[in-house]
Structure 1
Amino acid sequence: MKTFSIIFSLIFLLSCNLNTTYSNRESDKREAEQITNKLYHYLEMQELEKAESLFSEQFFEVTDRETLNKIFAKTLEECGNLTNFTLEEWTTFIVKGTDSKSEYVLVYRITRDKKNTTERIGLIKEEDETIKIVSYHVNFDMLDE
């Protein structure tokens, strides 16, 4: 009976998930901003291949590289060059422990030559600890002339 109790206790301890969660920490926001700052620098300089390198392979499972480049080109054509960007909203959700994950969403107001845009960027921390973009949404008012 004692052996059974020890085995049961070991199985129970090994099956436990020990996680700590953090939401909206300033340090996590700054970590994600390093990637979005690079993205906007590359877009401003029109270094599209470098910008593309910031995107996760998960992104490209949904949107192929050609489509991403069309989004970049269409935004540039319709809205003009990026002149400034300001973070308007952000959320982070970090889980540390046996089921670790890190998710970030940053929303920017982008000042451009022709039309301003609002851009929502979702990011994750991948297994190799690099943060990559997994979603990228550009919104602009088509009626704004």
Structure 2
Amino acid sequence: MKNLILLIILVSVTSCTFNNVAINQEADNKDGKAFLNEFYGKINTRDFEGAEVMIGDSLKKMAGDHGISKMLQFINTKVGNYKSYKIADLYIRSITGNVNETSYNYKLKVKYQKGTIDEIIGFKRQNGKSIKINSYHAYSDLLIH
């Protein structure tokens, strides 16, 4: 009977999961800003194919082959060269424990030659791998006209 109880306790303890969740930690924000600088650095040099490499598989499947680089080229054609960005809001969620994942979500005001565009970009790091973009949205009347 003792062995059965010990076995049940052992199985219960080993099957438990432990995860710690942190929101908007400064170290994570520092990593996120470095990634944003790299991404917008590629846009600044018009290296749209280089920016495409930073896109995650799920977004590539949704956007199609070179879909994001084509969109970045379209934005460049409509509003001119990239100038700078400013973070309007952010939400960074870091999970550590049995699962190690950090998701970064930034709302940006991105300045181009002909005006400012609101952009929302989301990216994720899973299990220590490189960060990949999983969502990108740019909206402005400047893109319509």
The Cα RMSD (Å) is 1.7
- Which residues of structure 2 form unaligned runs of 5+? none
Q: Which moved more, 1:135-144 or 1:46-55?
A: 135-144
Partner of 2:58: 58
SS, match of residue 65 in structure 1? coil
Partner of 2:16: 16
- Deviation, 1:101, is 1.8
Partner of 1:39: 39
Structural mapping, 1:1-145, within 5 Å: 1-142=1-142
Q: Which amino acid aligns with 1:33?
A: K
Deviations 1:100-136 (A, max 9, x none): 2211101111111113111111010034521111111
For this pair of structures, how many residues does the alignment match? 145
- Deviation, 1:138, is 0.7
Q: Which amino acid aligns with 1:54?
A: M
Note if contact 2:60-2:67 (Cα within 8 Å) is conserved in structure 1: no
Deviations 1:30-74 (A, max 9, x none): 111111111101101101121111111121121123321221121
Q: Which amino acid aligns with 2:122?
A: G
For residues 115 and 64 of structure 1, what CA distance do their matches in structure 2 show? 28
TM-score by length of structure 2 reads 0.92
Note if contact 1:23-1:93 (Cα within 8 Å) is conserved in structure 2: yes
Deviations 1:76-118 (A, max 9, x none): 1111111111111111011100122211101111111113111
Deviations 1:11-35 (A, max 9, x none): 1001111111100111111111111
Percent sequence identity over aligned pairs: 21
For residues 129 and 73 of structure 2, what CA distance do their matches in structure 1 show? 30
Note if contact 2:22-2:95 (Cα within 8 Å) is conserved in structure 1: yes
Note if contact 1:78-1:115 (Cα within 8 Å) is conserved in structure 2: no
SS, match of residue 50 in structure 1? helix
Q: Which amino acid aligns with 1:84?
A: S
